Amino acid sequence: MSESWNRIAHLADLPGDGPFALSADGVDLVVVRVRGEHHAYAGRCPHQGALLGEGELDGDALVCRNHRWRFDAATGARQGGPECLARCPLARRGDELWADTSALRETAASAAPARAHRRLEDLPGPRPLPIVGNLHQIDISRVHETVERWAAEYGPLFLYRVGPNRILTVSRPELIEPILRDRPETFRRSPNIAPVFRELGVAGLFSAEGDAWRPQRRLAMQALSHRNLRGFYATLADVTARLRRRWEAKADAGATLDVAEEMKRFTVDVTSMLVFGRDVDTIGRDDDAIQRHLGQVFPAFNRRLFALLPTWRWVRLPADRRVDRAVAELRVWLRDLVAETRARLAAEPSRAEAPQNFLESMLAARDADGNPFPDEVIFGNAMTMLLAGEDTTAYTLAWAVHQLCDAPDVVERLRAEADAAGIGSGAAPPDIEAADRLAYAGAVANETMRLRPVAPVVLLAATRDVVIGDVAVPKGTWVALLTRPPAVDARHFGDPAAFRPERWLPNGQLPNGSLPNGGPLAHDPSVFLPFGSGPRICPGRSLALLEMRLVLATLYSAFDVERADGASDVREAFAFTMHPVGLRVRLRRRAALTAPGLPSLRGARPDAAATSRGRAP
């Protein structure tokens, strides 16, 4: 085996002990320093492929951020399991660190390929028409329901067409997880995603691939690290209190609320503070231009993603002109923010060494050649962070309210936990660790995401010929992953259609420490992937889970919530994310606040395999 040495870093770029997410010759590495000596290992966790460089050092242990697997930082051996990280030889040459990746590359190449017994043409699926394929059978606003119905009819591997594109649809969990692990080498986002995002001015981390993706990912991870979230917690608590005051005024006025829009006000304010350091206060205004403009982008993207022909490139219809105006207004707003931030960095050069928000990090960062990121990348990532932080968390919270309207027993348990934490008296948990102990609120969030995933379809494309299951998949084939069918399958979750948050608590216990009738439910969180899996797992999941716990605890500690008259017919709609339509509620202040205490939940957390707590868009 010939050696393959590559320079991976200047030592000056590796302050502290790490971990550091690096790469060489297409191989992901994690580098740590133990007692003054650097060690390098294969950069992906053997469990679900998360990037170990996004984890943390706890003493001499390298801890994966996803499911808290621990590895001896000096040897790579897993603590409490047989798995061991593959070591990568290192050499110091002057002020540079070099790695020999030949063994890691040979190991990857020697993995036995799966054998194919079927071709795409052999798979079942709905019969397509010439030219349009199955597009005539798809309601774009409810596309997820159509493909889920087809999966129930044709099985976990089936084929349908959108125009000339063949789409292999996968709903078998043992196939979904390896596909997500093999990104970005074997699977990437479908090829029409990047140009559509670019046309809408949001080409950034979400649509980036390959070498362009890694440096952008590192910046996002820094902004959303657990350390940064701990420092940001006081701001998050202030925004939550602002939302509560708004709801108190609405309750006193007897107003009805569009829950999804209310939650988006909260997430826009939170994300703007974290990403830009700017308080836009959409909560304080009933009609906010920023929120209105953001609401144009994802529906336009969804329409264009499934369009048979890119007609908007030839003829600008009214809907296209509306989204053009919205994006233009957002870009003006972002341009001013970027200019202000550049001026601040120029006036205070020390801020470049310790950026205070994501935008400062982007402006201070340099690419592999030492050049600053171009404005288009900065604008695109700013938009991406804002959009990703707005819709997904807000819609999950809205779906949680919808589920809780029919679950008074769950509301009482949620309320009891909040009261015990002192939230009912108007005070937020004092710090992020106390917020993390809102275990039942976290369980409600998990159960909501199991039943109502805001990303029910993940659309990818094969970058090379590959075998999925027993099917030969040619390079370029689109692959749609369905995330909900495995999570509502009785083989993985007992009583799968029921809203049962206790399934996410230790031993399936109820908040009083007892077990539900019939004992714990069947529970396989490995098939539950609301934030994805592998190297491209959602970087903002820790912030999202923290927001969900705080808002749910705040809402139900302070208010009685019921659907407004005529709002019982709530349906799912899809506009790149899945959201509720027709969900309006009325709030009433609680007549009395009690704090019975929940000793059985002290220190408990929702199932770590599902929530990935303790890790830090």
106 and 243 housed in the same domain: no
Residue ranges making up the domain that contains 28? 5-110
Residue 364 belongs to a domain: yes
pTM score, whole prediction:
0.84
Q: What is the rounded distance in angstroms from the CA atom of residue 610 to the CA atom of residue 443?
A: 10
Collapsing DSSP to helix, strand or coil, 501 comes out as: helix
254 and 396 housed in the same domain: yes
Highest mean pLDDT of the ranges 370-374, 387-391, 397-401, 578-582: 397-401
551-570 pLDDT, tens digit per residue, is 999 999 999 999 987 666 89
190-208 pLDDT, tens digit per residue, is 877 888 888 877 777 777 7
Q: Are 411 and 404 in contact (CB under 8 A)?
A: yes
Structure tokens at 73: 């930082």
- Closest C-alpha to 420, from 412, 409, 410: 412
Number of folded domains that form the chain: 2
Give the domain-ending residue among 110, 144, 163.
110
99 and 243 housed in the same domain: no
Phi, psi of 234 (to 5 degrees): -60, -40
Give the domain-ending residue among 88, 110, 132.
110
* Sign of the alpha-carbon dihedral angle for 322, 456, 385, 545: positive
- Closest C-alpha to 194, from 185, 180, 204: 204
CATH code (residue 390)? 1.10.630.10
CA angle 244, 247, 249 (to 5 degrees): 115
The DSSP bridge pattern shows strands 157-162 and 559-563 to be unpaired
Residue 154 belongs to a domain: no
113-158 pLDDT, tens digit per residue, is 567 678 999 999 999 999 999 999 998 889 999 999 999 999 999 9
Residue 530 belongs to a domain: no
Structure tokens at 565: 């008259």
Asked whether residue 378 carries a pLDDT value surpassing 50, the answer given is yes
221 and 102 housed in the same domain: no
Structure tokens at 156: 């976990």
Phi, psi of 482 (to 5 degrees): -100, 115
Residue 359 belongs to a domain: yes
427 and 562 housed in the same domain: yes
Residue 205 belongs to a domain: no
573-614 pLDDT, tens digit per residue, is 998 889 999 999 999 998 754 444 443 333 344 444 343 333
Q: Quick one: three-class SS letters along 440-461?
A: HHHHHHHHHHHHCCCCCEEEEE
Residue 502 belongs to a domain: no
Residue 493 belongs to a domain: no
Is 538 annotated among the ligand-binding residues?
Answer: yes
- CB count within 10 Å of CB 211 equals 12
Looking up tokens 């030889």, which residue turns up? 89
Mean pLDDT (the chain) is: 84
CATH code (residue 60)? 2.102.10.10
Structure tokens at 322: 């509306």
Give the domain-ending residue among 110, 129, 154.
110
**Bond prior to 184 in cis (omega within 30° of 0):** yes
Q: What is the pLDDT of residue 617?
A: 31
- Closest C-alpha to 291, from 328, 323, 261: 261
Q: What is the rounded distance in angstroms from the CA atom of residue 505 to the CA atom of residue 390?
A: 27
Q: Are 617 and 540 in contact (CB under 8 A)?
A: yes
Residue 69 belongs to a domain: yes
Render 100-137 in DSSP notation, one character per residue: E-HHHHHHHHHSPPPPP-EEGGGS--PPPBTTTBTGGG
